[in-house]
Amino acid sequence: MLTIHDRTRRLGRRDFLRVGGLGLGGLGLGGLSLTDLLAARAANDGVLRDKSVILLFLHGGPSQIETFDPKMTAPAGNRSVTGEVATSIPGVTFGGTFSKLAALADKVSVVRSFRTGDGNHDIKPVVSKSSHGANLGSLFSRVAGTNHPKTGMPTNVALFPRAVWPEAKAAEEGFGKFGATGTIGSAYAPFVPGAGGAMQRDMQLELPRERLDDRRSLLAQLDQFRRGIDADGGLGRLEEQAFSTILGGVAKAFDLSSEDPRVVERYDTAPLVRPDAISRKWNNYTNYVDNAQTLGKLLLLARRLCEAGCGFVTVTTNFVWDMHSDVNNAGVSEGMEYMGRPLDHALSTFIEDVAARGLSDKILLVACGEMGRTPAVNKNGGRDHWGNLAPLLLSGGGLNMGQVVGQSSRNAGEPATEPYTIDHLASTVLNTLFDIGQLRIQRGAPEEVLNTATAASPIVELMG
């Protein structure tokens, strides 16, 4: 969040205009000024690929079998308990709750040889050792700047259920901090909105509009804020940019009431799983409700933010995919009714929407969790933690779609072909966002970003 201060000795007063993340003349995020960011963007011409990434984190560890690798030829107890559905790719099937997504299989790619390395509950696809303990979006903003230079939109945003539904639980961060920035500094932390909360209030114009002319006069007097501004009239340009942002762009992008109601209704996953249709015997009941109520709208909000200039959006609906069939969690068959159908609807709606808007090549959607599930169903009808194979789906971003990458073993427990890991996924994401060759030759290129982008190769089958 950025605060623009009016401070003069003569007037002795401080007023505030706040807008999410936009820095003006040395004010705001961790000492970074908007001029710093503009200079960074100028220096990064040729580095940024003018693309955005939405990383949908399926917290809890979804089953690879009931999602995109149903293995119906495996023995009972291994194969998908929800059956399978034919996709638009001949010979390829998805789990039985993904009929809408199956019809769009030519617009996605699934990786069947992806493994996360362990069965621990954490957020390692988002924040890992290979990302130097930082959210991948923070690595993006370390290069791109913390705000888009034209719109003022934060370049790195994390969306939790409260961003679209104030009744939802607070973000689940007991297994890892989504806002972690590791060694690159807190200035690059994701911007986190919360519907009806401080973010929306902070992004409202707090002075009457008729006083804007007075504010322009005040800002013109603030010589102490000219640090870093060049002598060719830059201050005036930045002021105009800041005012334009305050009066329209950024705040509107975060406001779903500004969207066509028909589009909001189309994305909405709440009607698919009513709260009274979810068994209250599960301790995870509230998270199941939050997931259904918010998943579709979170993806809609993420799309809006990317359109407005955000480069990386982390989306998660809290902890729902832990399908053990114990006191906390439903088993696989019941759990996929709570999570699989909303996910199928949200992903397919998003893919169709961005295609209709001509954004398919501009936005890369990644969906995965921290692990997969055991090949064998346990005695209670659940699947337990499994780090040797996990589901991974990607769509858009100008990558090669309409394919299955890699193969799994007969019981979907191990990669049967060369495995891909979180390092490969991080490299794929960063190579989508950046021209790494150009970044290498940039003076002062962040080592953390280069190290993460080159720790492994991108997933080669996806790259054009």
Average pLDDT over residues 87-98: 98
Task: Report how far residue 426's alpha carbon sits from residue 417's, in angstroms, rounded to the nearest whole number.
Answer: 20
pLDDT confidence of 36, banded at 50, 70, 90?
very low
Average pLDDT over residues 443-452: 95
- Please report the beta strands in 266-384, taking only residues with DSSP state E, as ranges in sequence order: 312-316, 363-368, 372-373
- Contact (CB, 8 A) for 327 and 335: no
pLDDT at 410 over 60: yes
Average pLDDT over residues 156-171: 95
Type of residue at 239: E
| Span 117-155, pLDDT tens digits | 999 999 999 999 999 999 999 999 999 999 888 888 899
Q: Which string of DSSP letters, residue by residue, matches 116-149?
A: -SS---S-TTTB-TTTTTBBHHHHHHHHH-SB-T
| Span 178-219, pLDDT tens digits | 999 999 999 999 999 874 444 444 454 444 545 445 545 444
Find residue 403's DSSP bridge partners: 109
Average pLDDT over residues 48-53: 96
Is the model more confident about 219 or about 344? 344
The answer to which of 17-26, 159-168, 240-249, 286-295 has the lowest mean pLDDT is 17-26
| Span 290-305, pLDDT tens digits | 999 999 999 999 999 9
Average pLDDT over residues 427-452: 96
- How confident is the model at residue 35, as a pLDDT? 41
Q: Could you tell me where in the chain the CATH 3.40.720 domains are found?
A: 50-205+253-462
The answer to which of 43-52, 87-96, 419-428 has the lowest mean pLDDT is 43-52
pLDDT at 345 over 60: yes
DSSP 8-state symbol, 270: G
- How confident is the model at residue 194, as a pLDDT? 79
Average pLDDT over residues 87-101: 98
The answer to which of 31-45, 215-229, 344-358 has the lowest mean pLDDT is 215-229
Torsion angle of the four alpha carbons 296, 298, 300, 305, in this order, in degrees rounded to the nearest 10: -170
Average pLDDT over residues 240-264: 75
Domain at 50-205+253-462, CATH class: alpha beta
List CB contacts of 9: < 8 A, sequence separation 6 or more.
Answer: none
DSSP 8-state symbol, 171: P
3-class DSSP state for residue 85? strand
Q: Take residue 139 and report the two structure tokens written for it.
A: 């690595």
- How confident is the model at residue 252, as a pLDDT? 87
pLDDT confidence of 454, banded at 50, 70, 90?
very high
List CB contacts of 464: < 8 A, sequence separation 6 or more.
Answer: 398, 399, 400
- How confident is the model at residue 11, as a pLDDT? 32
The whole model's pTM is what?
0.85
Task: Report how far residue 52's alpha carbon sits from residue 364's, in angstroms, rounded to the nearest whole number.
Answer: 6
- Contact (CB, 8 A) for 165 and 290: yes
3-class DSSP state for residue 11? coil
- How confident is the model at residue 229, as a pLDDT? 40
Is the model more confident about 32 or about 461? 461
pLDDT at 367 over 60: yes
Residue 222: CB atoms within 10 A of its CB come to 18
What are the CB-based long-range contacts (under 8 Å, 24+) for 195-202? 195/162, 195/163, 195/164, 195/165, 195/166, 196/166, 197/162, 197/166, 198/1, 199/1, 199/20, 199/254, 200/251, 200/254, 200/255, 202/1, 202/18, 202/19, 202/20
What integer best gives the mean pLDDT of the chain?
Answer: 85
- Contact (CB, 8 A) for 78 and 376: yes
- How confident is the model at residue 14, as a pLDDT? 33
Task: Report how far residue 236's alpha carbon sits from residue 223's, in angstroms, rounded to the nearest whole number.
Answer: 12
Sign of the four-CA dihedral 425, 112, 323, 321 = positive
Helix (H) or strand (E) holding 425: helix 422-433
- Contact (CB, 8 A) for 155 and 209: no
Average pLDDT over residues 310-338: 97
